[in-house]
Amino acid sequence: MPEATAPTDDGSGVQIDLISGERMEGLASMEKIRIILDGVHDGNIVILEEGLTPEEESRLIEVTMAEIDPDGFNGIEIETYPQNDARDRSLLGRIMGQEDTAKLTVIGPANQIETLHKDETLISALVSRK
Amino acid sequence: MGLLTGLKASITRATDRLFSEEDPKRIGIYGPPNAGKTTLANRIARDWTGDAIGPESHVPHETRRARRKENVEIERNGKSVTIDVVDTPGVTTKVDYEEFLEFDMEEDDAVRRSREATEGVAEAMHWLREDVDGVIYVLDSTEDPFTQVNTMLVGIIESRDLPVLIFGNKIDLEESNIQRVTSAFPQHETVALSAKEGENMDEVYDKIAEYFG
Per-residue pLDDT of B152-182, as tens digits, reads 999 999 999 999 999 999 999 999 999 999 9
Give the C-alpha separation, A66 to A43, whole Å: 18
What length does chain B have? 213
How confident is the model at residue B136, as a pLDDT? 97
List of chain A residues whose C-beta atoms are within 8 Å of the C-beta of residue B93: 61, 64, 75-78, 110
B94 touches A at CB < 8 Å: yes
Q: Is the per-residue pLDDT at B12 higher than 60?
A: no
Q: For helices B148-159 and A54-67, what crossing angle results, to 10°?
A: 130
Q: Is the per-residue pLDDT at B4 higher than 80?
A: no
List of chain B residues whose C-beta atoms are within 8 Å of the C-beta of residue A76: 93-94
Q: Which residues contact B8 (CB under 8 A, 6 or more apart)?
A: none
Helix (H) or strand (E) holding B6: helix B2-20
How confident is the model at residue B199, as a pLDDT? 97
Q: How far is A129 from chain B (nearest CA, A)?
A: 18
Helix (H) or strand (E) holding A25: none
Mean pLDDT to the nearest integer, B26-45: 96
Give the C-alpha separation, B130 to A46, whole Å: 29
Mean pLDDT to the nearest integer, B67-93: 93
Per-residue pLDDT of chain A (130 residues; tens, 9 = 90+): 455 555 555 667 889 999 999 999 999 999 999 999 999 999 999 999 999 999 999 999 999 999 999 888 999 999 987 655 444 444 454 444 444 567 899 999 999 988 888 777 888 889 887 6
pTM: 0.84
**What ipTM, to 2 d.p.?**
0.83
**Cα dihedral sign, B162-B165-B170-B175:** positive
Contact B39, B56 (CB under 8 A): yes
Q: Which residues contact B103 (CB under 8 A, 6 or more apart)?
A: B59
List of chain A residues whose C-beta atoms are within 8 Å of the C-beta of residue B151: 80, 82-83
Contact B91, B127 (CB under 8 A): no
Q: By CA distance, what is A101's nearest residue in B? A: B155
- For B73, half-sphere exposure in the C-beta direction (CA atoms, 13 angstrom radius) is 3
Strand, helix or coil for residue A127: strand
A·B CB contacts under 8 A: 79
Do the chains contact at A57 and B155, CB–CB below 8 Å?
A: yes
Q: Which residues contact B5 (CB under 8 A, 6 or more apart)?
A: none
Do the chains contact at A118 and B146, CB–CB below 8 Å?
A: yes
Q: Which of A62, A83, A115 sits opposite B122 (nearest CB)?
A: A62
Provide residues of A within 8 Å CB-CB of chain B: 53-55, 57-59, 61-62, 64-66, 68, 70, 74-80, 82-83, 110-111, 115, 118
For chain B, the average pLDDT equals 89
Contact A46, B62 (CB under 8 A): no
Q: Is the per-residue pLDDT at B57 higher than 90?
A: no
Please give the DSSP secondary-structure letter assigned to residue A84: S
Strand, helix or coil for residue A97: coil
Give the C-alpha separation, A92 to B94, whole Å: 34
Per-residue pLDDT of B139-154, as tens digits, reads 999 999 989 999 999 9
